């Protein structure tokens, strides 16, 4: 596949951005795009700017250039080198005009073109984030050179075009858009195609939803909920900030093959379109969508109204949007358990990232260039940052917290700001002692590990060896004694805190009062097998499991202990969120190093069979349990009966459940390639193509593994979603006979991958195809050898994280061997 711009380009360094900002300011962009082409589109950009005098450069990544004019004088287009055109601008006002042919892309970046296999219709959307804007229009691509934009678009007559500002079709196929407020290049977008469009309004704001035509029915079914979420969140954000949404209309476009969960483009937010539900989903999936909607709405203030000056402050975007999105969802929508969802779905994402060698501070992450900054859009910048903001809010109080935020918005409206600007606003609002907090929690990487030493009667607080900090933790601990759970508050202000509760089980910080890697003592873990099934407090259940998962990530927990707890709790688990979190985690991480992988899966399946049978018919808990039942079923005959419609009462065999069953059959070697191809031919949707890729790659056949491999190496064309599915399907526990030859091939391929994939997809490909089932010293040694140098930064960063996880898996495997 063609997953990047056609020529090698450079990623903007921070020092270059600072130098360019010193030289010029941008007054206005006028952009004309002709989207009627098949593989490319014509782009004309007129940039009005003011120079303070000096040398700089323009960003442009075209397929071809027709002409470039500076103040009416032609410039030599051959000077364009690796996406940059050098400029030497005298002081004063200037106009740059660029006419170029740009590439439609197929990797979810730039102007992405998708042909829907369901009906052959073509769809386009813009993703300008991180070095991608110059493949759409000529620009000065950095967050602190904001400017207004005016767009003019020519498109096929049956297309609708939506952008950052309201637009009208002034004649068939020609669209004119209003001028936007000042925007950073990275959130400029267009969404164009024969999209199904729905409209509404609220409090003077025009609202819109769109998805491709093959999803029209599903979008109609979800519209009431989506519009309702949007309206409730707008009301709450307006109440909290007292500052109205500043970007005119608010459109939410669900677009195909989107890499991220969503992108906060002002006026036109883009979401991955699997969030339009074509099959029945769990409550967990709906909460995830609701918090994503609220997260992107929070960005309209945090990130769009006021934008970080550089990517080392990306937490000013993401941590705030994560915190406010969860908070607002919990307070004003039907999903008042949003913080429980965060505990299950996000906490470990952040803690795992924070314990890897690639950990970085929440703030001031040291991003030297845009490409490296992309790697820091991780669980630290989202989940950890959100948790620390929650702590900060508790420390200073909501009134001071919000007053400082509003002061920050007022002072830097439509501009750029830094962490120091925000903390100055909080200080003006009355906050005190922020310097020490900032240093310990925001500027120092890594979490403290907190555990109770039962024998010594102390709580140990151990900072990361490479990033020591003296953090004080104020948290609650749940203690089970006398037949009931009780809560005690602890203050940990030193390496050791005396504490000796008389309890058979102790869970430290289940309510996420602080940011720490908490682990259970062995006796507590043993007692939880009996106690946890009866716990009704959802945060205590989630918190206990987070301590188990943290201990697992540190290679402190034996697989049998995890499975014992799972098989005890799953039959009575009241939350579909727990099932959809824990079962995939166990299948991915625990089963492969268990003493008896086959027996372990059978035990999980038995527990899920029981939960499926006892869950209320028609409930999302029943749905989650049955999905996990299918994923752990090892009897092909039983799975075949599912495909024939033999399901529990109130469940239906929809597309998602049907493909889940086919994927499981394929992994067992109980489906043929011909069967899988026939299912796809009967249902040729984009989603089906992804699941077909997963199923084919899961087959225990050399040809199937080679088929998957061709998607990694670019021999076969595939979408970004299909590449990921093929990689995840390829590596299956129990299929080592067929995957073993690909272990050395993976490491041999890493150096050349940047010539095949780029940006988001490059990282996705490395993660999906990493040989996660090859848990042995030889694989670990080869990975560590490659980390010594010479790899592309994106490849290196992902390999570093994956190698750390493998190292912990190998350590756990040794623990298993030692106890045999």
Average pLDDT for 608-632: 98
Average pLDDT for 648-664: 97
**Residues 786, 747: contact at Cβ < 8 Å?**
yes
Whole-angstrom CA distances from 365 to 79, 310, 359, 536, 787 are 34, 10, 9, 40, 21
**Residues 737, 718: contact at Cβ < 8 Å?**
no
Backbone φ and ψ for 695, nearest 5 degrees, come out as -70, -45
Whole-angstrom CA distances from 628 to 246, 570, 577, 657 are 44, 11, 12, 10
Question: Is the confidence at residue 8, as pLDDT, over 70?
Answer: no
The β-bridge relationship of strands 250-255 and 268-272 is parallel
Catalytic status, residue 784: no
Average pLDDT for 87-108: 97
> Binning pLDDT at 50, 70 and 90, where does residue 467 land?
confident
Out of 264, 296, 573, 577, pick the active-site residue: 296
* Rounded Cα distance, 131 and 492, in Å: 44
In sequence order, the 6+-apart residues with CB closer than 8 A to the CB of 343 are: 512, 539, 542, 543, 546
Residues 212 and 112 in one domain: no
Q: pLDDT tens across 675-710, in order?
A: 999 999 999 999 999 999 999 999 999 999 999 999
Question: Is the confidence at residue 645, as pLDDT, over 60?
Answer: yes
Question: Is the confidence at residue 3, as pLDDT, over 50?
Answer: no
Position 1 scores a pLDDT of 24
Inter-axis angle of helices 538-553 and 347-354, to 10 degrees? Answer: 30
The residue among 446, 477, 502 that closes a domain is 446
Position 130 scores a pLDDT of 84
Residues 109 and 226 in one domain: no
Question: Is the confidence at residue 575, as pLDDT, over 90?
Answer: yes
Mean residue pLDDT of the chain comes to 95
Question: pTM score, two decimals?
Answer: 0.96
Position 365 scores a pLDDT of 66
706 part of a folded domain? yes
Whole-angstrom CA distances from 627 to 283, 296, 609, 808 are 14, 30, 10, 29
Position 710 scores a pLDDT of 98
775 part of a folded domain? yes
In sequence order, the 6+-apart residues with CB closer than 8 A to the CB of 198 are: 208, 209, 210, 219, 220, 223
In sequence order, the 6+-apart residues with CB closer than 8 A to the CB of 94 are: 48, 49, 50, 51, 70, 71
Question: Is the confidence at residue 2, as pLDDT, over 60?
Answer: no
> Binning pLDDT at 50, 70 and 90, where does residue 74 land?
very high
**Residues 347, 553: contact at Cβ < 8 Å?**
no
Backbone φ and ψ for 123, nearest 5 degrees, come out as -135, 145
User: DSSP assignment of 612-642, as one string?
Assistant: HHHSPTT-HHHHHHHHHHHHH---HHHHHHH
Question: Is the confidence at residue 415, as pLDDT, over 50?
Answer: yes
**Residues 518, 547: contact at Cβ < 8 Å?**
yes
* Rounded Cα distance, 463 and 460, in Å: 10
Identify which of 369, 126, 60, 407 has the alpha carbon closest to the alpha carbon of residue 266.
126
In sequence order, the 6+-apart residues with CB closer than 8 A to the CB of 787 are: 796, 799, 800, 803
Identify which of 461, 452, 308 has the alpha carbon closest to the alpha carbon of residue 385.
308
315 part of a folded domain? yes
> Binning pLDDT at 50, 70 and 90, where does residue 369 land?
confident
Residues 288 and 355 in one domain: yes
**Residues 566, 515: contact at Cβ < 8 Å?**
no
* Rounded Cα distance, 304 and 324, in Å: 15
Residue 56 CB coordination number (10 Å): 20
Backbone φ and ψ for 756, nearest 5 degrees, come out as -105, -45
* Rounded Cα distance, 84 and 10, in Å: 8
Question: Is the confidence at residue 125, as pLDDT, over 90?
Answer: yes
Residues 277 and 425 in one domain: yes
Residues 162 and 239 in one domain: no
The residue among 446, 461, 477 that closes a domain is 446
3-state secondary structure 678-709: HHHHHCCCHHHHHHHHHHHHHCCCHHHHHHHH
Q: pLDDT tens across 162-181, in order?
A: 999 999 999 999 999 999 99
Q: pLDDT tens across 530-552, in order?
A: 999 999 999 999 999 999 999 99
673 part of a folded domain? no
Residues 321 and 437 in one domain: yes
Residues 32 and 132 in one domain: yes
The β-bridge relationship of strands 73-74 and 64-70 is antiparallel
In sequence order, the 6+-apart residues with CB closer than 8 A to the CB of 795 are: 750, 751, 753, 754, 762, 766
Domain span at residue 528? 448-514+520-557
CATH number at residue 337: 1.10.390.10
215 part of a folded domain? yes
Residues 480 and 510 in one domain: yes
Inter-axis angle of helices 315-332 and 216-241, to 10 degrees? Answer: 100
Q: Is 559 exposed, middle or buried (0-12, 13-18, 19+ CB in 10 A)?
A: buried
The β-bridge relationship of strands 458-462 and 496-498 is antiparallel
**Residues pairing with 461 in the sheet:** 450
Average pLDDT for 291-300: 98
Domain count, the chain: 4
Residues 156 and 43 in one domain: yes
The residue among 168, 194, 220 that closes a domain is 194
Position 134 scores a pLDDT of 97
* Rounded Cα distance, 447 and 340, in Å: 21
343 part of a folded domain? yes
Position 433 scores a pLDDT of 86
**Residues 268, 165: contact at Cβ < 8 Å?**
no
Position 366 scores a pLDDT of 67
Average pLDDT for 116-143: 96
**Residues 780, 807: contact at Cβ < 8 Å?**
yes
User: DSSP assignment of 97-123, as one string?
Assistant: EEEEEEE-BSSSSEEEEEE-TTT--EE
Residues 533 and 465 in one domain: yes
569 part of a folded domain? no
Residues 99 and 148 in one domain: yes
**Residues pairing with 190 in the sheet:** 163
> Binning pLDDT at 50, 70 and 90, where does residue 6 land?
very low
Residues 436 and 459 in one domain: no
- How far from the centroid of its chain's Cα atoms is residue 378's Cα? 7
Q: Is 802 exposed, middle or buried (0-12, 13-18, 19+ CB in 10 A)?
A: middle
Inter-axis angle of helices 559-569 and 522-531, to 10 degrees? Answer: 20
**Residues pairing with 25 in the sheet:** 50
182 part of a folded domain? yes
Q: pLDDT tens across 419-434, in order?
A: 999 999 999 999 998 9
């Amino acid at each position: 596949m063609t997953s990047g711009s056609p020529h090698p380009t450079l990623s903007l360094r921070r020092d270059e951005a600072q130098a360019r900002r010193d030289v010029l300011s941008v007054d206005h962009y006028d952009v004309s795009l002709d989207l009627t082409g098949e593989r490319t589109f014509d782009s004309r950009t007129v940039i009005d700017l003011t120079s303070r005098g000096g040398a700089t450069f323009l960003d442009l990544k075209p397929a071809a250039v027709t002409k470039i004019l500076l103040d009416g004088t032609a410039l030599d287009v051959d000077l364009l080198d690796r996406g940059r055109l050098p400029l030497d601008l005298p002081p004063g006002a200037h106009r740059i005009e660029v006419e170029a042919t740009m590439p439609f892309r197929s990797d979810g970046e730039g102007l992405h073109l998708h042909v829907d296999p369901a009906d052959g219709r073509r769809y386009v959307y813009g993703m300008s984030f991180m070095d991608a804007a110059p493949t759409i229009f000529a620009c000065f691509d950095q967050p602190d050179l904001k400017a207004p934009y005016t767009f003019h678009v020519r498109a096929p007559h049956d297309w609708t075009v939506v952008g950052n500002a309201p637009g009208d079709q002034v004649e068939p196929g020609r669209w004119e858009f209003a001028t936007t407020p000042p925007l950073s290049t990275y959130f400029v977008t267009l969404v164009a195609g024969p999209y199904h469009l729905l409209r509404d309004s609220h409090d003077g704001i025009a609202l819109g939803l769109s998805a491709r035509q093959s999803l029209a029915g599903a979008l109609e079914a979800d519209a009431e909920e989506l519009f309702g979420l949007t309206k409730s969140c707008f009301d709450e954000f307006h109440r909290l900030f007292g500052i109205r949404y500043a970007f005119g209309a608010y459109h939410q476009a669900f677009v195909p093959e989107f890499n991220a969960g969503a992108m906060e483009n002002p006026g036109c937010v883009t979401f991955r379109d699997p969030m339009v539900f074509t099959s029945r989903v769990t409550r967990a999936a709906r909460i995830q969508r609701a918090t994503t909607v609220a997260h992107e709405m929070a960005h309209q203030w945090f990130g769009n109204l006021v934008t970080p000056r550089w990517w080392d402050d990306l937490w000013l975007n993401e941590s705030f949007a994560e915190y406010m999105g969860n908070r607002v969802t919990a307070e004003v929508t039907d999903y008042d358990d949003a913080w429980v969802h965060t505990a299950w779905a996000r906490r470990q994402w952040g803690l795992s990232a924070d314990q890897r060698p690639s950990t970085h501070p929440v703030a001031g992450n040291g991003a030297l260039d845009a490409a490296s900054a992309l790697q820091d859009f991780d669980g630290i910048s989202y989940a950890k940052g959100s948790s620390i903001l929650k702590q900060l809010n508790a420390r200073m109080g909501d009134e001071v917290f919000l007053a400082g935020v509003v002061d920050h918005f007022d002072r830097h409206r439509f501009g750029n700001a830094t962490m120091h600007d925000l903390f100055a606003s909080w200080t003006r609002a009355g906050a005190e002692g922020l310097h020490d907090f900032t240093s310990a929690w925001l500027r120092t990487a890594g979490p403290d590990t907190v555990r109770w030493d039962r024998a010594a009667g102390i709580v140990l607080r151990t900072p990361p060896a490479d990033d020591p900090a003296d953090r004080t933790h104020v948290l609650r601990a749940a203690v089970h004694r006398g037949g009931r759970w009780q809560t005690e508050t602890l203050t940990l202000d030193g390496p050791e805190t005396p504490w000796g509760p008389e309890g058979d089980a102790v869970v430290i910080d289940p309510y996420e009062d602080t940011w720490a890697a908490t682990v259970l003592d062995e006796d507590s873990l043993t007692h939880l097998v009996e106690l946890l099934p009866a716990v009704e407090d959802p945060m205590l259940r989630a918190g206990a499991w987070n301590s188990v998962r943290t201990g697992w990530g540190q290679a402190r927990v034996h697989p049998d202990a995890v499975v014992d707890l799972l098989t005890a709790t799953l039959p009575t688990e009241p939350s579909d969120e727990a099932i959809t979190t824990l079962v995939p985690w166990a299948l991915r991480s625990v089963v492969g190093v268990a003493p008896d992988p086959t027996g372990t899966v059978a035990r999980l399946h038995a527990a899920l069979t029981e939960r499926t049978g006892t869950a209320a018919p028609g409930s999302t808990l029943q749905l989650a349990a049955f999905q996990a039942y299918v994923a752990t079923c090892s009897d092909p005959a039983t799975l075949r009966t599912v495909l024939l419609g033999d399901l529990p009462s109130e469940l239906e065999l929809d597309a998602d459940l049907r493909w889940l069953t086919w994927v499981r059959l394929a992994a067992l070697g109980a489906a043929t390639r011909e069967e899988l191809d026939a299912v796809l031919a009967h249902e040729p949707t984009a989603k089906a193509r992804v699941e077909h890729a997963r199923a084919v790659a899961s087959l225990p056949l050399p040809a199937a593994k080679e088929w998957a491999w061709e998607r990694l190496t670019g021999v076969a064309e595939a979408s970004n979603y299909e590449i990921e599915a093929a990689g995840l399907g390829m590596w299956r526990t129990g299929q080592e006979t067929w995957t073993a030859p690909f272990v050395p091939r993976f490491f041999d391929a890493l150096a050349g991958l940047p010539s095949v994939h780029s940006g988001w997809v490059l990282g996705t490909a490395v993660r999906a195809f990493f040989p996660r089932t090859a848990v042995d010293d030889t694989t670990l040694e080869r990975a560590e050898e490659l980390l010594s140098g010479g790899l592309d930064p994106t490849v290196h960063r992902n390999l570093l994280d994956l190698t750390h996880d493998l190292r912990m898996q190998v350590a756990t495997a040794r623990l298993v061997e030692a106890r045999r």
